[in-house]
Structures are given as structure tokens and as C-alpha cells.
Structure 1
């Protein structure tokens, strides 16, 4: 009885922001494991330990909850790559560290990565728009890194090269699911072998 009262007390003391993060963490896990279509708001509410009406109060709908999960993934991914970029002092290290940050993100945040990877099939314009926004965010970020390394490239080239890098990262992440022995470091090495020459104008 005392344990139940203590749990209830902790639940009441949790701020709205903390509660939202708790819900998002659980929802991300359930969506990634079960898929969007197979997951119900009842499932998520039960696992969090809140009422289903509270989920609707916070997020409006199951789709709204999925969108909030995707938006959190978007923030976390850009934060990880931005931090990696800040520590680099030359173009090659910059690309290496950002690639490594991406692959580590896909490992350290496997549920978030599964969510980004699997939910493209959700029949929702809003969800697909958010998924594309994540790709565009990383494309634009990558293009800016390339601009610093190769100021001779025009806008079209920067965008095309950034798209190629992002696409390669995504495909290599999928490939690594079948090759678990390929570490983030090894995946980064593979892509550096492919892309590093393009960082030098003379090459």
C-alpha cells in the first residue's frame, strides 16, 4: 500500500514536460517494436501508467503522438551531428566525425532509428512530411559542412552531394542490420573511403 501511494505521489509530482518525455520514450519503444498500425493508445497508456484521456490531452491523437516522437528524433539527431561537427578542425575530420555520430545515433537510439526507418509506410501526409523534414534537415546540415570544405561548389552540387551522402548513410544503416559485426567506426571508414576524396578540390 505504501509503495502504491509513493508511486502515485511521484506520478503527481511529475511536471507536464517530464510526463511528455516519459510518454514519448514509451511510445517510441512501442511504435518501433509493434508498428504504428498495430499499436493502440490503450497499449501506450497502460505501459506509461496514465489514462488514455491524458494521452489525447497532450498529443491530440495517435498520429499526433507519432509526430511528436518523430520531432524528438529530429532534434536528437541534429544535436548529435552538430556536437560532432563542433569538435572537428579540418574537412576530413568533420565528415568522419559527423558520419560516426550518425551511425552511433542509429545504434544508441535504435528505437528512434527504427521509428524513422519503418514509419514511412504510414498512410499519413503529416507523418510523411515530418519524415521528409528529418531528411531535409540532415541534407541541409550536410550541405553546409560541404560548403565550408568546398567553397568552389555551386548550390546544385552542394545539394546533390549532400543528398548522396545522406542516402548512403541510410542504406548503410539498413545493411548493418544484416551485418551486426560492422561497427559504427567500420561503417564510417567505408564511407570515408568513398567520400573523402571529394573534400579536396584538386581531387
Structure 2
């Protein structure tokens, strides 16, 4: 690829990213059916044909936005760096809730399967679940490798409850996010201790005498 082609490719990637950013703002709190391609093009300040050029269809555009949202959700959930285990867990859950709070429509699509249980969105959901499981394994045990069956089953159960709690919280907006985070972290503590009983190779990092990031001990 020569310099001219490279610059053209970079411009195309930049324009595509800009259109996705516009779509994420538009779909943040607006349903899929409520926005037409004409609406999207008007908000983006471009010809409708440009959106078709990059994404082929409204559905293709929507799926690209969901893929981008998934990447951010996983990045936020897994950005624990070198924090101690308890703080890693708290940071992971808090990042998840913050994402859901500020990107409600995208989160609902991810958590519920999208428009009419769209098969492609469901596939994206399964991928994000696997990535979140890896993020949780890294947060809890410092390793994102293949989980033992008991650990995987228990974490899937906890993650399903997180999705249900988060969807309900987005509707009611009570209690405060910090309280929801604490409840979910405590529930994860119970799950991790149960996992340890069945799978000693996965010791629970949260113990009764260890304070959480908020300074309180988990039961």
C-alpha cells in the first residue's frame, strides 16, 4: 500500500469511526425503530448514501454500533490494571454499571438480545459474556484462562443476575449506583466463596476480614 492509499484508508477509518460515534449518541436513549436513515444522516450532517457506503444498511450500522459499544463495555469492565484483588473486583463491577448508566439503549440491546432478538446481536451478546467472564476471572484470580466448569457455571449465574439487576435499576434508578455496586460485589463474594468450596484451585480473593474499596468488610 502506497502513501496515498494509506492516507485514504486512514481517512475512511476515521470517517467510519465518526459515523459510529454519531450513531452511539443517537441510539443512546432512542430505540432502533424510532430513528430512520434520514434522521441519522441529518444528525450526522452527511448524505444518506455515505452511511450505506460504509454499513450497507441501517441494520449493518446498528450492529457496528453495538460492536463498538461492546468493545467499550469490556474495556471498562476489564481496566483493573494492578489493583489488589478486592479493588479489581469492585472496579470491574463499577465500570460495568457506569457504562450501563450512560449508554442505556446500547446496554439494553446487549443484555436482552437487541431488536426482536436479532441473531447477530445475540451472537455479539455471547461474545461479550465470554469476554466479561475472562475479565471477572482476571479480577478475581488474576488469570483470564479457561475456567473450570464449576467456576464458569457459577459466574454465568452471577452475571445473569447482574444483567437483571442492572436492567431493573436503569428503569427505577434506585438505589444509588454505589449501593447497587456494593450489593453486586457482595453477591460476587458469595459466589466466589462457593466456587472455592467446589474448586480449591480458584480461591476466593474476598474474605470476611478484607475491606472492600469502599472500606467495608464483606459478609
Q: Secondary structure at the match of 1:164?
A: helix
Structure 1 residue 72 corresponds to structure 2 residue 68:
yes
Q: How far 1:56 sits from its partner (Å)?
A: 0.9
Hey, which of these two has a bigger chunk of helix by percent?
1
Aligned residue-pair number:
186
1:36-55 superposed matches below 5 A: 36-55=32-51
Instruction: String of CA shifts for 1:33-56, please: whole Å, max 9, x gaps.
Output: 442234321111111010111001
| 1:137 equivalent in alignment to 2:131 | yes
Query: What residue number does 1:24 align with?
Result: 20
Q: Output the CA distance in 2 between the equivalents of 1:198 and 1:124.
A: 31
Q: Tell me, what secondary structure is at the counterpart of 2:78?
A: helix
Where in structure 1 are there 5+ consecutive unaligned residues? 1-13
User: 1:96, 1:192 within 8 Å by CA — same for their partners in 2?
Assistant: yes
Give the Å deviation of 1:191: 1.6
Q: 1:134 to 1:166 in 2, by over 3 A?
A: same
- Out of 82, 86, 109, the residue aligned to residue 81 of structure 2 is 86
Question: TM-score of the superposition, structure 1-length normalised?
Answer: 0.77
Distance apart, 1:139 and its partner CA: 2.5
| Alpha-carbon distance in 1 for matches of 2:185, 2:92 | 11
Which whole-Å CA distance do the structure 1 matches of 2:118 and 2:70 have between them? 18
Structure 2 length-normalised TM: 0.72
Cα gap change, 1:77/1:123 in structure 2, threshold over 3 Å: closer, same or farther? Answer: closer
1:22–1:148 distance in 2 versus 1, CA, 3 Å: closer
Deviation at 1:63, TM superposition (A): 1.5
Question: Which of the residues 30, 55, 59 maps onto 1:59?
Answer: 55
Q: 1:118 to 1:171 in 2, by over 3 A?
A: closer
